[in-house]
Amino acid sequence: MMLSALLLVATAPAAQAAPPPRPVVDLLNRISGTATISGMHNKEPNSDPTRHTAKVHAITGRYPGLWGGDFLFAQDDVNHRQTMVDQAKTEWRNGSLVTLTWHVCPPTRPTACGWDAGVQDDLTDAQWTQLITNGTALNNAWKSRLDEIAPFLRQLLDAGVQPLFRPLHEMNDGWSWWGGRPGANGSRRLYQITYDHLVRARGLTGMAWVWNVKDLDPAGIAAYYPGAAYADVVSLDAWNSFWPSQTYYTTLKQIAAGKPLALAEVGRVPSPQELAGQPDWTYFMAWPEFFDDKQLNPDTAVRATYHHPRVLNQGELTPNLAQDRPARSTATESPAYPPTNAFDGKRAT
């Protein structure tokens, strides 16, 4: 069954259809605690948006259950955004989820820019105040920047693709022009403006919104949370340590308050043992340069994760149509093995 069919099953009957973005979120909630979706990011170049997932297949014989794309910032990648979006549609049809990142140029620069002179710019406090003030020149420039990708997002939604959209990622770190500003008028306010413009002003109501932080001081991340209404998934990028501390895991679970958790960027592919120890991570997305480091990601370790029963790859996200349905049996071995075990969706039972 294709993934589009999964979404059809996951929704309520037409007369009482749940509003977007529940289907993908429901899938993540359903697997939380028992399974984790494998993932790979496909950054530069947008002209070749399968380069890095192909490496996974070459090692494991399987494709990731999550395909990551990026709208990016360099001129050639901007020119090939349609290529990236077309691939996102293909990955969805093939049975993978789609997550989208955007290393975006600041509204003080053109659509295409550099890394040092662009994505890593520092805005002055005066510029930031103007940026988050409705109707100002920089505020309007930011909304126009968002409008550049709105048609691509609409294409995906019209094709039945529900992307996991992760804007303004790692907002608790100051490496980017949008990050490192805590508090109500800081980075989280720009995230809220981004959501309000794309969802309310442009009507892009079908995306699942992924709020994202980096593994810096866990005590400070709550100051960046935009609020439950603005996030469907709570995610972490594990870079300071290649596996999150238990403190970070617990802190994010408290902030999420029942929303799915995800590892939006990892340098090292998690081991099955690590995933079992922190079982609520619903997906991980490996980062290409680090994936190519054979000391960090030896082929044997990558294969062990991709072939482990708790890890879901492309084509393995289709639903169990019998899940949670009533069950009867003519006999049971003991009360410890009720017939409902057959349909509870848990691999352990």
Determine which of 9-13, 46-50, 143-147 has the lowest per-residue pLDDT on average.
9-13
Distance (Å, whole) CA 160 – CA 210: 19
- Reported as a pLDDT band with limits 50, 70 and 90, residue 333 is confident
Q: Is residue 326 part of a domain?
A: no
Res. 6 pLDDT band, cuts 50 70 90 = very low
pLDDT classification of 313: cutoffs 50, 70, 90: very high
Distances from the Cα of 301 to the Cα of 56, 260, 272, angstroms: 12, 26, 9
Is 349 within the bounds of a domain? no
Is residue 255 in some structural domain?
A: yes
Mean pLDDT of 274-283: 98
State the pLDDT at residue 335: 77
What's the full length of the chain, in residues?
A: 349
Q: How many structural domains does the chain have? A: 1
Q: Is 325 part of a structural domain of the chain?
A: no
In a domain, 71, yes or no: yes
* Reported confidence tier of residue 11, pLDDT bands at 50, 70, 90: very low
Report the alpha-carbon distance of residue 313 to residue 89 in Å, rounded: 17
- pTM of structure: 0.86
Q: In a 3-state reduction of DSSP, which class is residue 67? A: strand
Residue 131 lies in a domain: yes
Task: Give start and end residues of each alpha helix (H) in 201-329.
Answer: 246-256, 272-277, 288-291, 299-306
pLDDT digits (tens, 9 = 90+) for 85-135: 999 999 999 999 999 999 999 999 999 999 999 999 999 999 999 999 999
Q: In this structure, what CATH number is given to the domain that contains residue 89?
A: 3.20.20.80
Examine the pLDDT at 29 and tell me if it is beyond 50: yes
Is residue 320 scored above 80 in pLDDT?
no
Q: Which residue range is the domain that position 37 belongs to?
A: 3-10+20-318
**Residue 273 belongs to a domain:** yes
| Cβ-contact 312, 37 below 8 angstroms | yes
Cβ neighbours, 10 Å, residue 135: 7
CA distances for 194 relative to 12, 101, 142, 277, angstroms: 29, 13, 8, 35
pLDDT digit string (tens) for 183-231? Answer: 999 999 999 999 999 999 999 999 999 999 999 999 999 999 999 999 9
Would you state the pLDDT for residue 17? 27
- Model confidence at 136, pLDDT cuts 50, 70, 90, reads very high
Q: Is the pLDDT reported for residue 8 higher than 80?
A: no
311 part of a folded domain: yes
- Give me the mean pLDDT over the 138-147 stretch: 98
